[in-house]
Amino acid sequence: MGIPVDALTSYVNQAVDELTGIVTGLGDDLINQRPDLPGANSPYAILRHCLGVMEYWGGHVVAGRDVQRDRAAEFTATGHAADLVAAAHQAKIQFRADALTADPQAPPRRPAGRRSPDVLEVRSQGHALLHVLEELYQHLGQAELTRDQLREQARNR
């Protein structure tokens, strides 16, 4: 049994589109700000991290491509909405291409860092693809709350 790539990528695209909608809706003034909460991330950093997740898990773990990722830098990244939206568009195209190479039942083509082989998302390429979906929707919820908090903070200034 395989994962239907069209279904998977449609959900991934939907999450990325909603994340880019948050970024464009906030604009350059707010996307690089963090809510006044301990450990909070900016909307820019959240989407940049999601693009890193797609590249690493889809490209490295599933497709077996060489991927250079600085995960820590994703959380401190800043920039302009238009540039991030363009990067998100390219990430969707690349993720689909990576997902099309998948053998869902097979082990990952590249190891997933120092994770234990018992961790669900590293058991197979199919699990790794589903991990991308899990992460995107988790971070979409985070981005929605972050957007709401930043708008409230802006109103109260």
Interval 57-84 mean pLDDT: 96
pLDDT per position as a tens digit, 110-131:
988 776 666 677 889 999 999 9
Interval 41-52 mean pLDDT: 98
pTM assigned to the model: 0.94
Residue 42 · residue 78 · CB < 8 Å: yes
Between CA 150 and CA 157 the distance in angstroms is 11
Cα(first)–Cα(last) distance of the chain, in Å?
Answer: 54
Domains and CATH numbers, the chain: 5-155 (1.20.120.450)
Give the total residue count for the chain: 157
Interval 30-59 mean pLDDT: 97
Helix/strand/coil (H/E/C) assignment for every residue in 51-96:
HHHHHHHHHHHHCCCCCCCCHHHHCCCCCCHHHHHHHHHHHHHHHH
Q: Which residue's structure tokens are 């190479």?
A: 101
Q: Coil, helix or strand for 2?
A: coil
Q: What is the pLDDT of residue 3?
A: 74
The pLDDT > 90 percentage for the chain reads 87
User: For 113, left (φ over 0), alpha (ψ -120 to 50), or beta?
Assistant: left
pLDDT per position as a tens digit, 98-112:
999 999 999 999 988
